[in-house]
Chain A
Amino acid sequence: MSSNDKMIRTKDLTFLEKIYLPEIVKGLFLTVRQMFKPKVTVQYPEERFEPPAQFRGRPVLVHENGVERCVACGLCSRVCPALAIEVQAAETPLDKERYPEKFEINMIRCIFCGFCEEVCPEEAIIMSNEYLLVFQSQEEAVFGKDKLLKSAEEMRPRLEFLRDHR
């Protein structure tokens, strides 16, 4: 385009701009106005942030009436760029044929990318709104099924969000 080649001449500052004072007053005005608006800062850790459904907190496994949805296909484990997930399948008499005998996520490896949630064919692994992750040892950071399983009821906001936005 020819307009690209043209020299663009910026406007000279006016007298008022040159003396700065009105600009400083404008800035102060903005700051003062902000003081009367509602506060969004959370006084962590006394107060806790409640993330909305689209927040990608730590991954969890969904169960329905105590039966995990997971069929131990290992796709989440394969797609995980950080190799955080270990799944060991075993056979179950249920229709789904297989279930995860062992399901572990190493929360030190997890990077909260949500790929596992995206790849899962069963909507069995989803990102929760939990962000409080504190460990005192590496062992403690490996979450087994006991810490991962959450009921579909409890996870409803996220499941609904996924249904609407995927």
Chain B
Amino acid sequence: MPKVTIDGRTFDAPAGRTIIDIAAQNGIEIPHFCWHPKLTPAGNCRMCLVEVEKMPKLAIACMTTVADGMVVQTASEKVLNARHAVMEFLLINHPLDCPICDEAGECKLQDYAYKYSIGESRFEEDKVHKPKRVELGPNVLLDVERCIMCSRCVRFSDEIAHQPVLTFTQRGTHVVLTTFPDTQLDNRYSMNVIELCPVGALTSRDFRFKARVWEMSSTDSVCTGCARGCNTNVWVRNNEILRLTPRHNEEVNSYWMCDDGRLKTFKHVNAAERLSAPLVRKEGQLMETGWDEAIAKAVSELRLFRKNEIAALGSGFSSNEDNYLLQKFFRETVGTRLVDLVEHVVEGDQDDLLIRADKTPNTTGAREVGVRPGPAGEDLASILQGVRDGSIKALYVLEDDIAADPAVREVLGNLELLIVHAHQRNATTEFADIVFAASTFAERNGTFVNFQRHVQRFRPAVATQEQDRALDGFNMSRWDKFAAHNDRWGRGSRRDARPSWRILAALAVVYGVKYRYQTAEDVFREITERVPTFKGMSYLAVGSRGRTLAAAGTTAPAPVA
């Protein structure tokens, strides 16, 4: 194996790799704007200049392939001077926009100006002015003045999103990034250019000016928009989700996520119409009640029916823990065999990058932990048939708006008892007798299994009434840390919602069975003991990158992917 020495340390360097690649892999930072591990190198920002022994001039680390015996200096005086010069050039026409720039606080140019620039400019002339607030597409706005012409966005659109609509026009200091005539940046992955842009030239129309970066907390989570389960960061201020951004996970979503996942999967968490307490139907109207009353009522109502008159539907939107307890409660405690779920597959809405036709994050997991047709083929179709012909009189539904499907909606009226877990009023709650206010993926701990059978964790980012950001170990912003009870900016709105698994455990207790789970992790531990494919897993082992389930039928855990 060829060897290369970088800053006095020697590394193996497989032929064909570049200096920046080897350095990055070994934890040596070579500053760069235009290079990105997933895009073809462009070599245009000149920030990654390094000194290579026996080369007459400095070389760009992103395009120089390593050779055996190469000796590289990334911080020699020559290199530092070159960096100062590059920074000085880049800042010549850069506007003094940091106070109004959404990128401030997570801006490569800002960071490098601190780290690698001498902090003074010799340029006294007027800066070139260029258009601001240019619409590149429905979700992305461009500030041309801030653009440093790194071409990352251009290359992303060409190479990853396969929608080559961006290009540069003009020359020299007048270069302008633009879309080709009559085109716009409107592919389903368009918003990835926002994080990709090393500066604040590209901003999100949705998030624009909502908050400064340092005012939010960021929590590792998983997108609930489809079965890919892209890894995300949930950004919260004042107990409200303001944006989702992709989190790197090479096994699942690399550096990307789709626009639908980014924009459509969190708004319901903040919605003003969220249920703030359990609802029980009294004289035809759903009325708010206390938890104890709703749970006692649910149990006494369920007891009025015979085992085979009761059916339960899990949900691909609920966690493994929720689905596991649902099937355990109904199979073991209530004694019915009628447990299944409604799938949400949009045929054909799938591509080669991320988007999957299955629009739930966890159908695979729900099936795995036991929400699947019974031994005699008791599946969704037979449950719906039973409801239609009146043999099934009571139905229990986890977080899923099943009545959105007209075929299901039609039969729900036949039920004598419908109990649902919901985040807000929807078509299904219209028919419900008891509605439990369930917390969303952003308010609890849990796991999903994506279509690759990859188990992934999500963590609470938004607090419900019973949670405390500090005591429950939430990630906290400075505002969260110092807010007093009377600070308007510190509390946000909190709902009296509970995780579905806890509601089910409470039901079981009133039913007379001791379910001793204190946390979601306790439920997960039981899953790892009872479901062979989960054997050997734990929240710790799943961590923030996830772990792949053993293949069905085997008991040994798959190696960490």
| Interface, chain A (partner B; CB < 8 A) | 71-75, 77-78, 83, 86, 89-91, 96-98, 104, 106, 121-122, 138, 142
Q: Is the CB of A75 within 8 A of B209?
A: no
Given known pairs A91-B208, A97-B133, the reply for A73 and B100 (CB within 8 Å) is yes
Q: Is the CB of B132 within 8 A of A97?
A: yes
Q: Is the CB of B209 within 8 A of A74?
A: no
- Chain A residue contacts of B482, Cβ below 8 A: 83
Q: Is the CB of A138 within 8 A of B486?
A: yes
Cβ-Cβ contact count across A and B, 8 Å cutoff? 40
Given known contacts A73-B99, A97-B100, what 8 new A-B pairs fall within 8 Å (CB)? A71-B99, A78-B212, A78-B214, A83-B479, A83-B483, A86-B488, A98-B100, A98-B209
Closest to A97 in B: B100
Cα of A75 to Cα of B100 in the assembled complex, Å: 10
Given known pairs A91-B209, A97-B132, A104-B488, the reply for A74 and B215 (CB within 8 Å) is yes
- Chain B residue contacts of A106, Cβ below 8 A: 487
- Chain B residue contacts of A89, Cβ below 8 A: 209-211
Q: Is the CB of B99 within 8 A of A75?
A: yes
Q: Any chain A CB within 8 A of the CB of B489?
A: yes
- The count of chain B contact residues (Cβ–Cβ below 8 Å) is 19
Contact mask for chain B residues 95-108; partner A; CB cutoff 8 A; 1 contact, 0 none: 00001100000000
Closest to A93 in B: B133
- Chain B residue contacts of A104, Cβ below 8 A: 488
Q: Closest CB-CB distance, B493 to chain A, in whole Å?
A: 15
| Interface, chain B (partner A; CB < 8 A) | 99-100, 132-133, 208-212, 214-215, 478-479, 482-483, 486-489
- Chain B residue contacts of A90, Cβ below 8 A: 209
Report which residue of A73, A90, A121 has the largest number of chain B beta carbons within 10 angstroms of its beta carbon. A73
Q: Closest CB-CB distance, A26 to chain B, in whole Å?
A: 55
Q: Closest CB-CB distance, B426 to chain A, in whole Å?
A: 30
Cα of A142 to Cα of B488 in the assembled complex, Å: 9
Closest to B209 in A: A89
Cα of A164 to Cα of B177 in the assembled complex, Å: 42
Closest to A83 in B: B482
Cα of A152 to Cα of B478 in the assembled complex, Å: 33
- Chain A residue contacts of B487, Cβ below 8 A: 83, 106
Cα of A121 to Cα of B482 in the assembled complex, Å: 25
Cα of A97 to Cα of B209 in the assembled complex, Å: 9
- Chain A residue contacts of B488, Cβ below 8 A: 86, 104, 142
Cα of A77 to Cα of B488 in the assembled complex, Å: 14
Listed by A's residue number, 23 A-B pairs whose Cβ atoms lie within 8 Å are A71-B99, A73-B100, A73-B212, A74-B215, A77-B215, A78-B212, A78-B215, A83-B478, A83-B479, A83-B483, A86-B488, A86-B489, A89-B210, A89-B211, A90-B209, A96-B100, A97-B100, A97-B132, A97-B133, A98-B100, A104-B488, A122-B99, A142-B488
Q: Closest CB-CB distance, B235 to chain A, in whole Å?
A: 15
Closest to B104 in A: A73
Cα of A108 to Cα of B486 in the assembled complex, Å: 11
Cα of A162 to Cα of B100 in the assembled complex, Å: 23
Q: Closest CB-CB distance, A59 to chain B, in whole Å?
A: 17
- Chain B residue contacts of A78, Cβ below 8 A: 212, 214-215
Cα of A91 to Cα of B143 in the assembled complex, Å: 14
Q: Closest CB-CB distance, B209 to chain A, in whole Å?
A: 4
- Chain A residue contacts of B483, Cβ below 8 A: 83
Cα of A111 to Cα of B132 in the assembled complex, Å: 38
Given known pairs A97-B100, A97-B132, the reply for A72 and B209 (CB within 8 Å) is yes
Q: Is the CB of B479 within 8 A of A74?
A: no
Q: Closest CB-CB distance, B398 to chain A, in whole Å?
A: 36
Cα of A89 to Cα of B104 in the assembled complex, Å: 14
Q: Closest CB-CB distance, A61 to chain B, in whole Å?
A: 15
- Chain B residue contacts of A96, Cβ below 8 A: 100
- Chain A residue contacts of B209, Cβ below 8 A: 72, 89-91, 97-98
Q: Closest CB-CB distance, A117 to chain B, in whole Å?
A: 15
Q: Closest CB-CB distance, A54 to chain B, in whole Å?
A: 26
Cα of A147 to Cα of B479 in the assembled complex, Å: 24
- Chain A residue contacts of B211, Cβ below 8 A: 89
Report which residue of B99, B212, B478, B487 has the largest number of chain A beta carbons within 10 angstroms of its beta carbon. B99
